[in-house]
Amino acid sequence: MAQAEVVTVMNGASGEKIAVTINSLVIAGIGALALAAVVMAGCWAYRCIVGVWLAPVRRTAARVLLKTQREYEVTRSGLRCGNSVTGAIAEVLLDSEPGVFYASEEACPAYDYFITFEFDGGRQEFAVKEDLYASVHEGDEGLLVYKGDALKHFIPGATRVEEIAPPRPRS
């Protein structure tokens, strides 16, 4: 069995030397990383359980205060931006013009959409899908339905639950 390497460390306060094995330092580092991962997972689980799952569904009259769009880049290896896999393969098989299909990685823009609503004297920003983002305008008023920090619905023009038409029965 190989002997562990010993490192001598000076204790700053008393000036005495302390022998520490490299193995114990590695184990302590791994333990600290594992503890950090457990704490982060616990915070995420708490936010999900308390912030969304256990939060009550709230309905309130609201006004669209601000729409924001944040851009980020997505790299699609071997695909042209905006093309599906089958489209890229078809371009290669059909021997389309040179340079249409890129074999290297290319960064494509992508967007996250957010709407800030004003209601009950406060404001809250929600992440929304592109279709809702496109369909509402700043200043629109309507009924906001949300649960915690998750937007469920925004119904422009409605201010009370009673104003929403009931779903038609399927025939």
Tell me if the pTM is above 0.75. Answer: no
pLDDT of the residue at 171: 59
**Euclidean distance between CA atoms 42 and 30, whole angstroms:** 18
Specify whether the backbone of 82 is left (phi greater than 0), alpha (psi in -120 to 50) or beta.
left
Q: Are residues 127 and 46 in the same domain?
A: no
Task: Using alpha carbons, select from 67, 27, 28 the residue that is nearest to residue 151.
Answer: 67
Residue 165 forms part of a structural domain: yes
pLDDT of the residue at 7: 58
Token look-up 């038409």 returns 165
Q: Are residues 124 and 65 in the same domain?
A: yes
Residue 94 forms part of a structural domain: no
Residue 89 forms part of a structural domain: no
pLDDT digits (tens, 9 = 90+) for 27-63: 888 988 888 888 888 777 776 666 667 778 888 999 9
C-alpha Rg value of the chain to the nearest Å: 28
Q: Are residues 43 and 120 in the same domain?
A: no
Q: Are residues 5 and 49 in the same domain?
A: yes
92 pLDDT above the threshold of 70: no
Query: Based on the structure, what is the number of domains in the chain?
Result: 2
pLDDT of the residue at 163: 52
